[in-house]
Amino acid sequence: MPTVRSDLTNKVILITGASRGIGRAVALNCAQAGAEVIISGRTIGALEELDDEISKTDGKATIVELDQTDTAAMARLAQAIATRWGRLDGFVANAGQLGQMAPMPHIDPKIFEKTIMVNLTSIWYQIAAFDTLLRASNAGRAVLVSSGAAQGARAYWGAYAVSKAGLEAMARAWAAESEKTKLRINLIDPGATRTAMRAAAYPGEDPANLPTFEELLASLPCESEARVSEEERMAEAYYNAGLDYREKLSDNEKAIETWVELIERLDSSAFHPTAHYQLFRTYLEREIEENYQNPFCDDCNSEYWADEIVRLYPGSEWARLIVDPEFLDDEEVLREAQREEYEALLRRYYTRDYQNVLLDIDEVSERDSANNFECKYQLLRAQCVSLARLQGAGLRRGKSGCSGPG
C-alpha cells in the first residue's frame, strides 16, 4: 500500500487504465489522500477489486467501464462528471497498450492503427471532452503518462514510440494553450517499472529487480515541506540560469525562455515575481537599445510584464520599482552599501596595499559574517596573501585562518 503524503481532500480525479499497474497505484494513492476517484478501464472485475480496497480505507471511488477506442463514451463520461460534480480537479491519462514489437515495415497495420488509437487519438478525444471540466476547477491538473521510448530511437518499438512521441507533442501544445489559465498539464515518464506491459516488452527480465509504482511514489518528495523545498531549489536554478544567459553569455533570448519556463512550471515559487521583473528589465533594455517594440507579440514587450507585475503583485517591491525605478527596499540599500564597501577595498587592492586590505577584510568578516560579498572578500584575501608573500611582506596567521600582516 503506498504511503499517502499529499492532501487531496474533496478533489475529483479521473484515472484511466486504473485496473492494474501504474493506474491502480495512482488511484489508491489519490483515494488515500482524500480524493474521490473515478476509476476507468476495460476489466470491470479488476476495477471492482480496486473499489473494495479503496473502501477499506474509507475512500470514495466511482467505477467506469471504458474502452479507449470508444470515442463517443468520452463525451458521455464528461457529461456525467459535469452533472454530478460540475468540475474535474485531476485527470491522469494512463491507459495504453504496447502494440507489436517488430520492424516498422512488418507491423500488422491493424495493430499499428489500434496502438495509435489507444495511446494517442483516444487521449485527444479525452482532452476535448474534459478540458472544460478541468478549467472549471480552481486548480485543474492533467497528467499524461509517456515513456522513454518517445525519445531517441529504439529498434522494434516503432508503433509505441510513435504514439508516445505524438502524445508528448500534443501535451506540450495543450500546455502552451493553457498557460494563462489555472490549468496545468504535465508529462510523466515513470521509467522502468514492474508492470505487465514491461514484462511483455522484456520477457527475459527479472521483475523483482524493478521497483513497483508504489515504491516510486514513496520515493517522491511529496511531503508539503519537502515538495516546496525541492520546487524552490528548481526555481532558483532556473532563475540563476537566466541571469547567466543574460549577464555572462549575452544571450537574452535564452534568458527570456528560461524565466518564462520558470513562471509557467513553478508558479508558486518565491522566484515567480523576481522572474517577472527580470523579463520586464530585459525587454525594456532591448527596447531602449534597439528603439523598437514588437507589435506582433502580446507578451514580447516590457509593458506587458510591467502590467503583469502590478496585477499579480500589487504593493510588492517589484510593483513599486515599476512605478518608481529609483525605489530601493531595505535589503537593496544594505546590499548597495556592502557593494560600495567591497569596491573601495578592491580599489585599495589595486594600489598594492595588501597588508591593510587584509586587516580590513578581517574586520568586515568579524563584523558581518552574512555579508552578501563574503565569498568575494575571501577570494580577495587569498589573492592578497599570495601577492604579499611574493613581495616578502612578512605575514602571520590571521583570525580567519589565512595569513595576515606581521
How does the average pLDDT of the chain come out, rounded? 80
Q: What does the alpha-carbon distance between residue 304 and residue 62 come to, in Å, rounded to a whole number?
A: 44
Cβ-based neighbours of 391, under 8 Å, separated by 6 or more: 352, 354
Q: What is the pLDDT of residue 404?
A: 37
Mean pLDDT calculated for residue range 142-148: 86
Residue 59 is which amino acid? G
d(CA 176, CA 264): 9
**Cα 313 to chain centroid, rounded:** 22
Q: Dump strand ranges (E) for 35-86.
A: 36-41, 60-65
- Best CA proximity match to 23, nearest among 66, 56, 73, 85: 66
3-state secondary structure at position 35: coil
List pLDDT tens digits, range 377-405: 888 888 888 777 766 544 443 444 333 33
| pLDDT for 18 | 87
Relative orientation angle of helices 302-312 and 272-290, to the nearest 10 degrees: 150
Angle separating helix axes 109-116 and 158-177, nearest 10 degrees: 20
Catalytic: 160? yes
Delineate the domains of the chain, giving CATH numbers in brackets.
Answer: 12-226 (3.40.50.720), 227-323 (1.25.40), 330-405 (no CATH)
Q: Reduced to 3 states, what is the DSSP secondary structure of residue 13?
A: strand
* pLDDT tens-place string over residues 207-263: 555 555 555 555 444 455 555 566 777 888 888 888 888 888 888 899 999 999 888
Q: Looking at the predicted structure, is the pLDDT value of residue 6 above 80? A: no
Q: Using CA atoms, how far apart are residues 345 and 375, in angstroms rounded to an integer?
A: 14
Choosing from 125, 156, 160, 377, the catalytic residue is 160
Q: Which residues contact 94 (CB under 8 A, 6 or more apart)?
A: 15, 16, 17, 18, 22, 23, 26, 145
pLDDT at 79: 94
Residue whose C-alpha is closest to residue 71's, from 129, 144, 125? 125
Q: Are 344 and 357 in contact (CB under 8 A)?
A: no
One-letter amino acid at 101 equals M
117 pLDDT above the threshold of 90: yes
